[in-house]
Amino acid sequence: MKKLAPIALTLTLILAILSANALPALAAPSDSDQSDQSAAPTETTPSSNPTTKTATKPSSRPLVADEKTVVAVRADSPITIDGRLDEPVWRTAPAATGFTQTNPDDGSPATEPTEVWVAYDDHALYVAAFCRDSEPAKIRKRLGRRDTQTDSDWFGVAVDPYFDRRSGYAFYVNPAGAITDTVLSNDINRDDSWDGVWETRAAVNGEGWAVELRIPFDQLRFTKKDEYVWGINFRRMIRRKNEESTFNWSPRDEAAFVSRFARLEGIGGIRPGRHIEFIPYAVSQAQLRPAEAGNPFETGRRALGNAGFDLKVGLKSNLTLDTTVNPDFGQVEVDPAVLNLSAYETYYQEKRPFFIEGASLFNNFGRGGVFLNANINWPMPRFFYSRRVGRAPQGYATEDGYVRMPDRTTILGAAKLTGQLAGGWNVGFLNAVTGRELASIDQEGARLTQEVEPLSYYGALRVQKDIDEGRRGFGLMATGVMRDLDGGGGGSVPNDALAAMLNRNAFTLAADGWAFLDKGKSWVVGGWVGGTRVEGGVDAIWRLQNSSTHYFQRPDATHVELDPAATSLSGWGARLNLAKQRGNVMVLFNAGALSPGFNPNDAGFQQGGSDVINLQFLPGYQWTKPGKVFLRALAAGGWFRNYDFGGNKNWDGGLAFFEGQLRNFWGVNAMVAYNPDTISKNLTRGGPLALIPSGWQIEGGVTTDSRKAVVFELFATNYRRPRDGNEWNGRFSARWKPGSNFSLSVGPTVGFETSEIQWVRRIADELMTETFGARYVFGRIDQKVLGSEVRLDWTFTPRLTLQAYVQPFLAVGHYDRFKELAAPKTYEYNVYGEGASGGGGGGGGAEASTIVYDPVSDRYTVDPDGAEGAAAPFSFSNPDFNYKSLRGTVVLRWEYRPGSLLYFVWTQNRADFANPGNLRLGRDLGDLFSAPGDNIFLLKVSYRF
């Protein structure tokens, strides 16, 4: 609930430093994203190709990028993609050999030789590889669903058709025929959501395994020329050794990937293909949920159907237009249950294909050039958050009666233009229109409708230009949201509350850029600056000023104030990053600011309030060469601090952390951090400043060797404020891989927290002059959270898979020792029912306060200065909770032809809220599993033309 921000740093900075070189590559996959499945591949006899008979001796010295060249030859006869390598072209094409390790022994020659050949014809690029192996019986051949990096051997080819040393595509295949593909950007970033249409086949023989790939030119973007020079690289993973090697070596201490590609020469006389895809779809859905007596909308059964299509057109060689009409944006996996007692919304990952494909250009805003990333108490504003489009309606019905609310907003149509313009400008332009949504209301048989979401437009424009092969760059981003709040066609009953809730228009405009400061690209400076403007009615902007993003109503704030007549709100934000990200010594300095009026949330997302100035400095040292204990390791530490624009220090502290991989391939990590006393502007949720007492945090984790049949992970963290409370969280996961195409993972979590200052509510009382005419009520919370995630992956073929996900979740909180803040900027509280009141003004303080609980109404009544005092009593509902949830989904996915899919999905949700404030595991689990469930059965079929 009040976690120390360095937790986020451990997940961002460490991974960025240790994995920067391996992010787009086939590094040893973590158990969190492995499917770890296999099936026996086709066994073949050794090929008759004479070049596969002779092993090329690896070079004893790794070469830099400019020293390696691959020559492609034109194929004069058809190439059959069968993994046999028996076509004539593979006998004449020059072989690329001499791979170099990046893991585990960075810079050493690969232990097993690999030979690669490249050819082409008028329509496609062909790549053949023979991965020799001295122990072919030990080749890992696990099967997995597309884009799942299974625990197996792999071979991959990555190309940079623009030869800008910043972007490209990567294609990977394993000996079982499982595939994954990705779009590369910003040198090391990857977007796995892209699914190209290409062909591959692998085969194992007595000397190793062979693979062939056919990549159509119409799947790639490049500028038409007579002769082409592309970037290219090859990667190989030998899983039993955890060995990863590349043709063109990129050292682990360099945050680089695409910029280290070799040259691909020899291609000529081709042209980019005209790519057109038309994918119609149909979906049927049955919803089964408990019937509600008297409610005509909840009869227990409901059937739905829908149809639409997606169209993808290559407008020019470098631009692609994606359009969709009446799209099906249903998710096949439910969002996880979370407990959120903060004032801010929860961020959920995007899972809808139209939005996740090509999203990297939008998501990489402000991150160009700077690969190191740490966010310690920084709100991390995103200018575009695609889940705003098609969200659940934000309004509500104001009429009495039974109500049926739409579960999402209908997307009438959407279009997205992506690619590269003349002059090297990368562009992304997304537009979507969502329909007006109506709630249906039944008043004893009379049917009414009321608008709960207006007709809306969402737009996002992103342009970016790389200069001097990515040594510098510049970009712009703009978003816009426009809502029709005039109520035309807005149902049979007007909804005046809607215009008071929603902003009419919202716009953002921002610029980002970066520049490397030295020839070796070790030091880099980058960042962004931008502004936001929100427009609406007086009531909507008043609500916005009072929201948790702004809290302009803070009574002791001298730099902000409420404007009751305002019809707009504007603000600015900026972030500066300076980093040394190559070599053993690493340095990261960040400075950021969000003005009090900054608000990107109509089209974007911000994980906290504005009115913040953030500073952090984090030096570190990484070991990339294997030692006696560790294969690689990182140690770092630093300092961080936050201010508001009034000069108040809102957060402060220091930390140190370590992460490493042992020689037995176990991973370990640890962190310690300390926060001194700070002043919070958010604890009272719009009230005066309050003191947050000092605290310290310690955490650690261990992960076992992911090559084994059973893999374990353990993580624990403890954050303690001696004057306030204690928080402990633990996570344990086990992944079992009993067969070649089956895996089961179980990941229980547990958390315990006590805190004296959990927010309850605000009570207006002009007698409480010490806290500016209001009582800010808190309670002591004793909170327990138990949960687990269970995942099953069963892969029958690379095109036919079954996945299941179940998440039981229990969160119980009990409140007592209710109290009120006694004075701003202090940790002084008046505890109700314990001694004399400290309330000022007319509060008196002579009589003891009283608090009484009424079990019938489930409410507390407080008299803050006793029966003889002048302050009026007030009451509030019992805030205890016992939230129990069971969410699950089963997905059968069949790609019956390339790009054409059939889904069968079963989703179930159960919830129970009985016995608030009291945890009894057996009883609560029984209540959960016996609670009525909502079941949704969905069948979807699409066909790609």
| Residues 591-628: tens digit of each pLDDT | 999 999 999 999 999 988 999 999 999 999 999 888 99
**How many whole angstroms separate alpha carbon 178 and alpha carbon 158?**
17
Exposure string over 837-854, b if 16+ CB within 10 A, otherwise e: bbbebebbbebbbbbeee
**Residues above pLDDT 70, as percent of the chain:** 88
Measured in degrees and rounded to the nearest 5, phi and psi for residue 878 equal: -65, 120
Confidence (pLDDT) at 336: 57
The 3-class SS string of 632-669 reads EEEEEEEEEEEECCCCCEEEEEEEEEEEEEECCCCEEE
Enumerate the β-bridge partners of residue 661: 632, 667
**How many whole angstroms separate alpha carbon 439 and alpha carbon 420?**
43
Ranked by mean pLDDT, which of 255-264, 459-468, 512-521, 566-575 comes out on top?
566-575
Alpha-helical (H) ranges within 523-647 are: 538-546
Mean pLDDT across the stretch 98-107? 90
Confidence (pLDDT) at 763: 96
Confidence (pLDDT) at 848: 82
Contact 59/100 with Cβ under 8 angstroms?
yes
Q: Find the farthest-apart pair of alpha carbons in the chain and give their distance in angstroms, rounded.
A: 103
Q: Over the stretch 383-393, which tens digit does the pLDDT of each residue have?
A: 999 889 988 89
pLDDT-wise least confident of 265-269, 314-318, 812-816: 314-318
H or E segment to which residue 750 belongs? strand 742-764
Contact 571/532 with Cβ under 8 angstroms?
yes
Contact 523/579 with Cβ under 8 angstroms?
yes
Residue 545 confidence (pLDDT) above 90: yes
Contact 649/512 with Cβ under 8 angstroms?
no
Q: Over the stretch 55-84, which tens digit does the pLDDT of each residue have?
A: 333 333 333 445 699 999 999 999 999 999
Mean pLDDT across the stretch 899-925? 92
Mean pLDDT across the stretch 193-204? 88
Cis, bond preceding 29 (omega within 30 deg of 0):
no
Q: DSSP letter string over 819-873?
A: EEE-STTS--EEETTSSB----GGG-SSSBPEEEEETTTTEEEEETT-TTSSSPP
Check residues 778 and 317 and name the one with the higher pLDDT.
778
**How many whole angstroms separate alpha carbon 755 and alpha carbon 858?**
22
Confidence (pLDDT) at 58: 33
DSSP 8-state assignment for residue 918: -
Q: Over the stretch 624-680, which tens digit does the pLDDT of each residue have?
A: 888 999 999 999 999 999 999 999 999 999 999 999 999 999 999 999 999 999 999
Residue 401 confidence (pLDDT) above 60: yes
Selection from 194, 629, 24, 614 nearest residue 378 by Cα: 614
Name the 3-class secondary structure at 806. Answer: strand
pTM of the predicted structure, to 2 decimals: 0.84
Cβ burial, residue 618 (10 Å; 0-12/13-18/19+) = buried
Contact 233/262 with Cβ under 8 angstroms?
yes
Could you list the beta-strand ranges (E) of 552-648.
Answer: 568-580, 585-594, 612-623, 630-643
Say which amino acid occupies 887.
R
What is the band of 20 on the pLDDT scale with cuts at 50, 70, 90? very low
Contact 928/810 with Cβ under 8 angstroms?
yes
Task: Take residue 464 and report the two structure tokens written for it.
Answer: 């970016």
Measured in degrees and rounded to the nearest 5, phi and psi for residue 197 equal: -105, 105
**How many whole angstroms separate alpha carbon 895 and alpha carbon 812?**
43
Residue 3 confidence (pLDDT) above 90: no
What is the band of 335 on the pLDDT scale with cuts at 50, 70, 90? low
Confidence (pLDDT) at 488: 54
Confidence (pLDDT) at 170: 95
Q: Over the stretch 174-196, which tens digit does the pLDDT of each residue have?
A: 999 889 999 888 788 787 777 88
Q: What is the pLDDT of the chain when averaged over all its residues?
A: 86
Residues ≥6 apart with Cβ < 8 Å to 729:
716, 717, 749, 750, 751, 752
Q: Over the stretch 564-578, which tens digit does the pLDDT of each residue have?
A: 999 999 999 999 999
Selection from 719, 732, 671 nearest residue 693 by Cα: 719
**How many whole angstroms separate alpha carbon 160 and alpha carbon 222?**
9
pLDDT-wise least confident of 277-291, 684-698, 755-769: 277-291
Name the 3-class secondary structure at 788. Answer: strand
pLDDT-wise least confident of 603-607, 692-696, 834-838, 852-856: 834-838
Contact 360/368 with Cβ under 8 angstroms?
no
Check residues 250 and 558 and name the one with the higher pLDDT.
558
Contact 833/850 with Cβ under 8 angstroms?
yes
**How many whole angstroms separate alpha carbon 735 and alpha carbon 814?**
34
Check residues 250 and 776 and name the one with the higher pLDDT.
776
Residues ≥6 apart with Cβ < 8 Å to 920:
none
**How many whole angstroms separate alpha carbon 905 and alpha carbon 690?**
49
DSSP 8-state assignment for residue 493: B
Confidence (pLDDT) at 117: 97
Residue 366 confidence (pLDDT) above 50: yes
Confidence (pLDDT) at 35: 34
Contact 572/596 with Cβ under 8 angstroms?
no
**Residues above pLDDT 90, as percent of the chain:** 61
Residues ≥6 apart with Cβ < 8 Å to 613:
591, 592, 593, 642, 643, 644, 645
Confidence (pLDDT) at 843: 37
User: How many Cα atoms are found within 13 Å in the side-chain-facing hemisphere of 942?
Assistant: 21
**How many whole angstroms separate alpha carbon 8 and alpha carbon 377?**
9
Confidence (pLDDT) at 334: 52
H or E segment to which residue 91 belongs? helix 89-92
**How many whole angstroms separate alpha carbon 517 and alpha carbon 578?**
10
Name the 3-class secondary structure at 925. Answer: helix
**How many whole angstroms separate alpha carbon 352 and alpha carbon 333?**
10
